[in-house]
Structure 1
Amino acid sequence: MFSYLKRLLIGRPLKSNELGEQKLNKTKALAILSSDALSSVAYGPEQILIVLVTVGAAAFWYSIPIAVGVLILLTALILSYRQIIFAYPHGGGAYVVSRDNLGVNPGLIAGGSLLVDYILTVAVSVSAGTDAITSAFPALHSYTVPIAIVFVLFLTTLNLRGVTESASILAYPVYLFVLALFILIGVGLYQISTGQVPADLHTSVGTPVAGISLFLLLKAFASGSSALTGVEAISNAIPNFKDPAPNNASKTLMAMGGLLALLFSGIVYLAYYYGITPSVKETVVSQIADHTFGRNYMYYFIQGTTALILILAANTGYSAFPLLAVNLAKDKFIMRMFTIRGDRLGYSNGIITLGVSAIILIILFKGQTEHLIPLYAVGVFIPFTLSQSGMIVKWIREKPKGWVSKLIINATGALISLTVTLMFFFTKFPQVWPVLIFLPIIVIIFHKIKTHYELVGEQLRIKPDQQPKTIEGNVIIVPVAGITQVVENSINFATSLTDQVIAVYVAFEREDERIFEEKWKKWQPNVRLVTLHSHYRSIIQPLTKFIDTVQHKANENNYQVTVLIPQFITKKSWHNILHNQSSLLIRAYLLFKRDVVIATVPYRFKK
């Protein structure tokens, strides 16, 4: 049943040699890897206005110069990450760049920050998309959490089906969103240029505003910079591109930067000109669409595509999180299970982990994750800063041809990224302080995992001068609960291996002990039986004491002790609840005893 359901949801398993078919072309890659960055157009301008509205609507003209600053930062980041793509064509992004050039700990800070950020990407994007739906249909407000969870489950299932299949499906909504916003911006600018929009809805650029301060402007700029989350995703996912991967990734990055700049600029300008005030009940994009078209089919088309892109922005996390996890797992900083490809050749453990973590966040914050956006943004700008700083070190150390211009580009990116990061801490400290706690904890956990793997490797490694351990013989202990076909099957198997077989019976009553000994002598006179009396009705305690005694004597004679556990297997799985699971308890308890081999002899029922 489970296999059928899995095949229905995920599809047939793919052969390893079909991996090449799972690579992305530029068109699909732009959709699947840029959805996070492009979707931020729906909330980035709004974040600027939310800060400025604290002074008053007259301050909204400051959104124009702030938007120019965000575009300068975007340009620096796009050029910087283009260089990273060619310098590190195998992917890895900020983690690999920081690790190779700044050291292990900076690399782990970048990697850990991005892992958490991709989880936030899914939670915030899906929640924002759900908000867009509830803005259009207010009756659905009370169902925010269930709707968000359904979307996360849908995206998780879609990504488990494979990269190309998810890209084929998700490309349409992304390009529809881009088309919808270009129509919105184009019609809005046309109405403005033809005088259909009153000019008194906004204050003129340069109008003095009482109460404005540099601190407030920096806070608004930092908030607007949240529109740049997701810019790094392409550099992390270079292995997903068709060959030549670096060239295709670079072109996709430049296309994403151009689209993001145009859409962001257009939305900021329309919001300013229309005098849009941010509202809890309706998004800025919704208000712009309402002013431009009214509540007609175009309004719902824009809201629908906006909701889709916000939800599908989470797919950037699904594309980048597993690949980053693979790099960390290869370096033994997280579990090796993240390096395993699933039936559809995707890194399914990473995909499932990301989906489950996002659902937990959505439930904890009841779908209202908008106050996580500053934490989400600072989680990106820390790796931005580290990766650009790492590239500076790389160019100074290697000095390749044209390294000075490359150094200037990365130095500019590093300086601006560091400035924005500091702005977040200075202006939004109450919201971003958890970064100072969870990042060191994550780095410590990474090192603990690495230490564990190194210790395991040391203990597994066979040394050249190591003498092989010889075993003179084997003592097999068979716990028995009665005289049955199951026990007979196990005893026959044990005696076929050695003549040192000891059957052990634990009795709760003296009379039961005597009766069983008499039956055993008649049934298996050639196999030694040891009966143990349990005063406290425990099977495991007297059994383990006896095993310890035998083990001590066996070690003196260089014998191996094996505990052979009889286990019957019912025909139907639900029948198991009708039986005591003593064999499972014994096995689970003895599994951690040193120098004892635990083996199970199954006996399968036919009825």
Structure 2
Amino acid sequence: MGSQVKRWLLGRPLKSKELGEQKLRKTKALAILSSDALSSVAYGPEQILLVLVTVGASAFWYSIPIGIGVLILLTALILSYRQIIHAYPHGGGAYVVSKENLGIFSGLIAGGSLLVDYILTVAVSVSAGTDAITSAFPSLHEHKVVIAVVFVILITILNLRGVTESASILAYPVYLFVLALFILIGVGLYNIATGAVSTDLHASIGTPVAGISLFLLLRAFASGSSALTGVEAISNAIPNFKEPAPHNAAKTLMSMGVLLALLFSGIVFLAYYYGISPHAQVTVVSQIAETTFGRHFMYFFIQATTALILILAANTGYSAFPLLAVNLAKDKFIPRMFTVRGDRLGYSNGIIMLGVLSIVLIVAFGGQTEQLIPLYAVGVFIPFTLSQTGMILKWIRQKPKGWFPRLLINATGALISFTVTMMFFLTKFAQVWAVLVFLPLILLLFYRIRKHYEAVGDQLRLATCEPVPPIKGNVVIVPVSGITHVVEHSLNYAQSLAADQIIAVYVPFEREEEVRFSEKWKKWRPDIRLVSLHSPYRSIIQPLSRFIDAVQHKAGESGYQVTVIIPQFIPKKGWHNILHNQTSLMIRTYLLHRKDVIVTTVPYHLKK
């Protein structure tokens, strides 16, 4: 039943040789890997206005120079990550760049930040998409957490079906969103050019504003820079591209940069010219669309596509998180299970983990996007800063042809990214302080996992571990609960091992029960020794474990191995298991942690 449901949800398993068919073309890759960056247009300009509104609506004209500053940072990041793609064509992004040029500690800071950032990508994107839906349908506002969780589950299932299939489905909403915003911006600019929009709605550029300060402007710039989250995703996901992967990834990155610049510029300008003021229940894009078209078809079309891309922007996290996890797992900093491909050739463990953690985050924050964005943004600007700094050192050390202009590009990106990071800590410490807590904890976890893998390797390696002592013989212990075919099957298996001694162990709770069973045993299997361990406190594990310890201690001194054979009957239907005591499972689980004891389960399958 479970396998049929899995096949229905995920599709047929794919062969390893079909991996090449799962690679992405540039058009699909642009939709999947740029959806996070493009979707941030829906809330990036709004974050600028949320800061400026504290001074007054007359300060909204500052959104224009702040927007220009964001575009300068975007240009530096796009050019920088284009260089990273060609310098590190196997992917890995900020983690690999920082690790190789700044050292393992910096690499882990970048990797840990990005892992958390991709979880936040899913949480922020889905929460923002839900906000767009509830802006159009306010009656759904109280159910936004449930709606967001459902969307995360659906996107997780879609990604488990494979990269190509998810890209084929998700590409259309992304391009519809781009088309919808271009229509909105085009119609808005036309209305402005024809004088259909009053100039009284906004303050003129250069209007003096009381209470404005450089600190507040830098804070607004840092908030607006949240529109650049997701820029690094393409450099992390180069292995997902069709060959030549680096060339295709670089072209996709440039296309994303152009689209993001045009959309961001258009929304910032329209928000300023229309005099849009941010509100808790209605997004800035929603207000611009309503002002431009009224609450008619185009308004709902823009709201629908905005909601879709905000939700589907989570797919950027699903594309990049598993690949980053693979790099960390190969370096033994996170569990190796993240390197295993699933039935559909995707790294399903990473996909599932990302979905679960994102749901936890959405529920914990109540789906409040504005509370997540600062934490989300600072989590990505730390890797931005580290990766650009790493590239600076790379150019200084290697000095390839034309290295100085590249160094200037990376230096500009590093300086601005560092400034934005510091501004987040200075101006929104109450919202981003958690970074200073979870990053050290993540680094500690990374090192503990690495230490464990190294310890395991040292103990398993033939050249370093202690020699395994020879085994002279075998003592077999068979816990029995009655005289049945299950026990008979296990005893026959024990005898086939040619063990030196076979001991059947019975744990009765009453003395009368002990006597009756002993008499039956003598008649049934007199050739096998029976040991009864009376348990007045009705525990099976404790008396059995004490007996095994005693036998193992004596056998170990003589060089004999103790093997415990556990009889286990298997019901025909899985749900029948809940009708039976799982004593054999408890015994096996307990004994697996006992040193120098081999545990073997002998299944007996029931036919009806």
Please indicate the TM-score interval, normalised by the length of the shorter structure: over 0.9
Q: What secondary structure sits across from 1:533 in the alignment?
A: coil
For residues 534 and 153 of structure 2, the distance between their equivalents in structure 1, rounded to whole angstroms, comes to 54
Residue aligning to 1:559: 560
Query: Cα distance 1:189–1:350, how it changes in 2: closer, same or farther (>3 A)?
Result: same
Residue aligning to 2:454: 454
Instruction: Return the offset for 1:143.
Output: 1.6
Instruction: Return the offset for 1:422.
Output: 0.8
Q: How does 1:151-166 map to 2 (within 5 A)?
A: 151-166=151-166
Instruction: Return the offset for 1:464.
Output: 7.6
Q: Percent identity?
A: 78
Does residue 10 (structure 1) correspond to residue 33 (structure 2)? The answer is: no
Instruction: Return the offset for 1:399.
Output: 1.3
CA contact (8 A) 1:532 1:542 kept: yes
CA contact (8 A) 2:473 2:500 kept: no
Q: What secondary structure sits across from 2:533 in the alignment?
A: strand
For residues 562 and 369 of structure 1, the distance between their equivalents in structure 2, rounded to whole angstroms, comes to 57
Instruction: Return the offset for 1:123.
Output: 0.6
Q: What secondary structure sits across from 2:230 in the alignment?
A: coil
Residue aligning to 1:384: 384
For 1:518-550, what per-residue CA distance to the aligned partner results, in whole angstroms no more than 9, with x for missing partners?
221111111111111223221111111111111
For residues 173 and 467 of structure 2, the distance between their equivalents in structure 1, rounded to whole angstroms, comes to 64
CA contact (8 A) 2:458 2:464 kept: no
Residue aligning to 2:244: 244
Q: What secondary structure sits across from 2:504 in the alignment?
A: strand
The amino acid across from 1:306 in the alignment is T
For residues 339 and 464 of structure 2, the distance between their equivalents in structure 1, rounded to whole angstroms, comes to 30
Residue aligning to 2:79: 79
Q: Which moved more, 1:547-556 or 1:459-468?
A: 459-468
Q: Which moved more, 1:565-574 or 1:102-111?
A: 565-574
Residue aligning to 2:607: 606
Residue aligning to 1:435: 435
Moved over 4 A (4+): 464-468
- What is the RMSD of the two structures over their aligned residues, measured on CA atoms? 1.1
For residues 371 and 467 of structure 2, the distance between their equivalents in structure 1, rounded to whole angstroms, comes to 62
CA contact (8 A) 1:218 1:427 kept: no
Q: What secondary structure sits across from 1:282 in the alignment?
A: coil
Q: What secondary structure sits across from 1:277 in the alignment?
A: coil
The amino acid across from 1:456 in the alignment is V
For 1:357-395, what per-residue CA distance to the aligned partner results, in whole angstroms no more than 9, with x for missing partners?
111111112222321101100000000000001111111
Residue aligning to 1:582: 583
Does residue 495 (structure 1) correspond to residue 490 (structure 2)? The answer is: no
Residue aligning to 1:147: 147
For residues 272 and 282 of structure 1, the distance between their equivalents in structure 2, rounded to whole angstroms, comes to 16
CA contact (8 A) 2:132 2:303 kept: yes
Q: How does 1:231-270 map to 2 (within 5 A)?
A: 231-270=231-270
For 1:258-285, what per-residue CA distance to the aligned partner results, in whole angstroms no more than 9, with x for missing partners?
1100110010000000000111111111
Residue aligning to 2:420: 420
Instruction: Return the offset for 1:466.
Output: 6.1
CA contact (8 A) 2:329 2:338 kept: yes
Q: How does 1:532-547 map to 2 (within 5 A)?
A: 532-547=533-548
Instruction: Return the offset for 1:499.
Output: 4.3
For 1:306-358, what per-residue CA distance to the aligned partner results, in whole angstroms no more than 9, with x for missing partners?
11111111110000000000000000000111000011101011111111111
Residue aligning to 2:374: 374
Aligned length: 607
Q: What secondary structure sits across from 1:504 in the alignment?
A: strand
Residue aligning to 2:550: 549
Q: Which moved more, 1:458-467 or 1:291-300?
A: 458-467
CA contact (8 A) 1:472 1:558 kept: yes
For residues 159 and 537 of structure 1, the distance between their equivalents in structure 2, rounded to whole angstroms, comes to 49
Residue aligning to 1:511: 512
Q: What secondary structure sits across from 1:478 in the alignment?
A: strand
Q: What secondary structure sits across from 2:475 in the alignment?
A: strand
For residues 316 and 65 of structure 1, the distance between their equivalents in structure 2, rounded to whole angstroms, comes to 29
The amino acid across from 2:159 in the alignment is N
Structure 2: runs of 5+ lacking an equivalent = none
Residue aligning to 1:595: 596
For residues 213 and 474 of structure 1, the distance between their equivalents in structure 2, rounded to whole angstroms, comes to 82
The amino acid across from 1:166 in the alignment is S
The amino acid across from 2:565 in the alignment is L
For residues 428 and 512 of structure 2, the distance between their equivalents in structure 1, rounded to whole angstroms, comes to 76
TM-score by length of 2: 0.98
Instruction: Return the offset for 1:511.
Output: 2.1
The amino acid across from 1:74 in the alignment is L
Instruction: Return the offset for 1:465.
Output: 9.3
For residues 154 and 482 of structure 2, the distance between their equivalents in structure 1, rounded to whole angstroms, comes to 51
Q: How does 1:273-288 map to 2 (within 5 A)?
A: 273-288=273-288
For residues 5 and 139 of structure 1, the distance between their equivalents in structure 2, rounded to whole angstroms, comes to 34
For residues 463 and 108 of structure 1, the distance between their equivalents in structure 2, rounded to whole angstroms, comes to 30
For residues 580 and 463 of structure 1, the distance between their equivalents in structure 2, rounded to whole angstroms, comes to 45
Structure 1: runs of 5+ lacking an equivalent = none
For residues 229 and 465 of structure 2, the distance between their equivalents in structure 1, rounded to whole angstroms, comes to 54
CA contact (8 A) 1:278 1:284 kept: yes
For residues 150 and 462 of structure 1, the distance between their equivalents in structure 2, rounded to whole angstroms, comes to 50
Instruction: Return the offset for 1:468.
Output: 4.8
For residues 355 and 214 of structure 1, the distance between their equivalents in structure 2, rounded to whole angstroms, comes to 40
The amino acid across from 2:97 in the alignment is V
CA contact (8 A) 1:362 1:369 kept: no
Q: Which moved more, 1:576-585 or 1:195-204?
A: 576-585
Residue aligning to 1:134: 134
For residues 571 and 25 of structure 2, the distance between their equivalents in structure 1, rounded to whole angstroms, comes to 51
Instruction: Return the offset for 1:574.
Output: 2.2
For residues 358 and 533 of structure 1, the distance between their equivalents in structure 2, rounded to whole angstroms, comes to 51
Residue aligning to 2:205: 205
Does residue 400 (structure 1) correspond to residue 403 (structure 2)? The answer is: no
Instruction: Return the offset for 1:587.
Output: 1.0
The amino acid across from 1:134 in the alignment is T
CA contact (8 A) 2:112 2:439 kept: yes
Residue aligning to 1:25: 25
CA contact (8 A) 2:267 2:285 kept: yes
Q: What secondary structure sits across from 1:231 in the alignment?
A: coil
Instruction: Return the offset for 1:469.
Output: 2.8
CA contact (8 A) 2:132 2:283 kept: yes
For residues 573 and 9 of structure 2, the distance between their equivalents in structure 1, rounded to whole angstroms, comes to 25
